Amino acid sequence: MTADHRIDERTLAKERALLDWLAARGSVLVGFSGGVDSTYLAACAMETLGADRVLGVIGRSASLSEAQLTTARDAAGQVGLPVLELDTEEMSDPRYASNPGNRCYFCKTELWTRLVPVARARGLAVVIDGTNASDGADYRPGAAAAREHGVESPLAVVGLTKDEIRELSRARRLRTWAQPSAPCLASRIPYGTAVTPERLRAVEQAEQALRALGIDGDLRVRHHGALARVELAPDELVAWLHGAALSRLTAAVRTAGFSRVALDARGFCSGGLNVLAGIGASAGSETVG
Amino acid sequence: MSSSALREALEALQIHGDVVAHGPVAVLVTAHPEQLAEPTARESALRAAAAHGFRTLAVELLGDAHNAHVPGA
């Protein structure tokens, strides 16, 4: 790796343990999203095993935004990861579409049900994901699906935290190192409200419209029927709490079909809908699987 | 959760507007969103919303023809 002398030795030791873990497996299929964690994991796998013994698989569905798909393809390209894109059908599962609190379990069940046979067919030893040591405190019903399908989480196994992964990603010059978390679009729809392609598209369009206004960083448009509730990072929030600015923001979100638009005074809250529902291990958690 | 009680609580904080309950979200409909630009005012408003049973407080711009709004609902 491109070691950076400022990185703590304990962190570097964890990375060495990760590379050893990967080498011991011999070949891997990476559930790949192009996020911070799976991109770092893929980079380490590529370094350790090479392109012939690593495959990244992107699960495509209506809950994956076009922007995130593009990001995933770009990230794979940067680390030279061979990628297979597979369509997943979680929207056809009424247990998922009805949007219960453990929705992610059904999504991940669908994902791993499709990916595990791919690994077997290609002779890849193990299926791995980007779950890390910081995820333990979060509300992640999808983790149970991973366990049930034998999916392993080497970042968590060696104890790498989210901050450490960002640090190590930066040392590797991965573009994802400072990338905001990007959970699936369904995370914007309150539990109990059905996940439909139309609602997902409205959220995606609204967030694209806000990005087009120049809003960077963490951003969520929460779907409350006719009302869109916008969460912005605290440093962005203040700039939009003025009449003319809020009018522009409102007009942008409305292009996605919402008739009412409200800006959350609390600002961006990872796992905001978990908080509204009163579930989750902490207010900082986001149901991302 | 009472939108009218929250409205009164916000008035006491010199934050003016109608409050519309939208499930666990309190929506403050106002022509002056800058009332919440100051962190102290915002935190006070959020605390008031929480005290009245809401999970969060969001600001909707009044005076927008497309923003269907039922005062005092």
Residues near A233 by beta carbon (within 8 Å), at least 6 away in sequence? A217, A218, A219, A267, A268
Give A137's pLDDT tier (boundaries 50, 70, 90): low
Would you state the pLDDT for residue A235? 87
Mutation site, B38, B40, B55, interface A, largest A CB count within 10 A: B55
Least confident of A108-112, A159-163, A277-281: A277-281
Residue B12 to chain A, least CA–CA distance (Å): 18
The chain B residue lying nearest A273, using CA atoms, is: B55
Residues near A70 by beta carbon (within 8 Å), at least 6 away in sequence? none
C-alpha distances in angstroms, B9 versus A27, B16, B48, B73?
61, 10, 7, 16
Alpha-carbon dihedral sign for residues A169, A171, A172, A175: positive
Please name the residue ranges forming H helices in chain A: 9-25, 36-49, 66-79, 94-97, 103-121, 142-148, 154-157, 162-171, 197-212, 234-240, 243-254, 272-277
C-alpha distances in angstroms, A105 versus A137, B47, B52?
17, 34, 33
Do residue B33 and residue A242 have CB atoms under 8 angstroms apart? Answer: yes
Kindly list the residues from chain B whose CB atom is less than 8 angstroms away from the CB atom of residue A241.
33-34, 36-37, 59
Do residue B56 and residue A265 have CB atoms under 8 angstroms apart? Answer: yes
Quick: pLDDT tens for A170-228. 999 999 999 988 889 999 999 999 999 999 999 999 999 999 999 988 899 999 999 99
Spatial contact of A10 and A100, defined as CB atoms under 8 Å apart:
no
Give A287's pLDDT tier (boundaries 50, 70, 90): very low
Residues near A163 by beta carbon (within 8 Å), at least 6 away in sequence? A134
Do residue B56 and residue A242 have CB atoms under 8 angstroms apart? Answer: no
Q: 3-state class of B41 per DSSP?
A: helix
Q: Residue range A80-84: average pLDDT? A: 98
Among the listed residues A122, A43, A114, A53, the one whose alpha carbon sits nearest the alpha carbon of residue A77: A43
Would you state the pLDDT for residue A183? 87
**A247 pLDDT higher than 50:** yes
Kindly list the residues from chain B whose CB atom is less than 8 angstroms away from the CB atom of residue A226.
68
CA distance B20 to B18: 7
CA distance A174 to A168: 9
Closest residue to A224, CB basis, from B23, B36, B61: B23
Would you state the pLDDT for residue A283? 33
Angle between helices A162-171 and A9-25 (to 10 degrees): 90
Q: Residue range A265-275: average pLDDT? A: 79
Do residue A265 and residue B24 have CB atoms under 8 angstroms apart? Answer: no
User: pLDDT per position in chain B (73 positions), as tens?
Assistant: 789 999 999 999 999 999 999 999 999 999 999 999 999 999 999 999 999 999 999 999 997 644 444 333 2
Would you state the pLDDT for residue A243? 93
Cβ atoms within 10 Å, residue B16: 13
Q: Residue range A7-30: average pLDDT? A: 97
Spatial contact of A33 and A61, defined as CB atoms under 8 Å apart:
no
Do residue A246 and residue B42 have CB atoms under 8 angstroms apart? Answer: no
Q: Is A246 on the interface with B (CB under 8 A)?
A: yes
Predicted TM-score (pTM) of the model is: 0.84
| Residues of chain B contacting A, Cβ within 8 Å | 22-25, 27-28, 31-34, 36-37, 42, 45-46, 55-61, 64, 66-69
Question: Can you give A63-78 as a three-state secondary structure string?
Answer: CCCHHHHHHHHHHHHH
CA distance B8 to B5: 5
Q: 3-state class of A50 per DSSP?
A: coil
Torsion on CA atoms A63, A267, A263, A69, rounded to nearest 10 = -20
Selected residue with higher pLDDT from A112 and B64: A112
Residue B59 to chain A, least CA–CA distance (Å): 5
Spatial contact of A232 and A207, defined as CB atoms under 8 Å apart:
no
Beta bridge partners of B57: B26
CA distance A191 to A176: 29
Would you state the pLDDT for residue B69? 43
Do residue B68 and residue A247 have CB atoms under 8 angstroms apart? Answer: no
**A65 pLDDT higher than 90:** yes
Portion of chain A with pLDDT greater than 90, in percent: 84
Q: Residue range A16-37: average pLDDT? A: 98
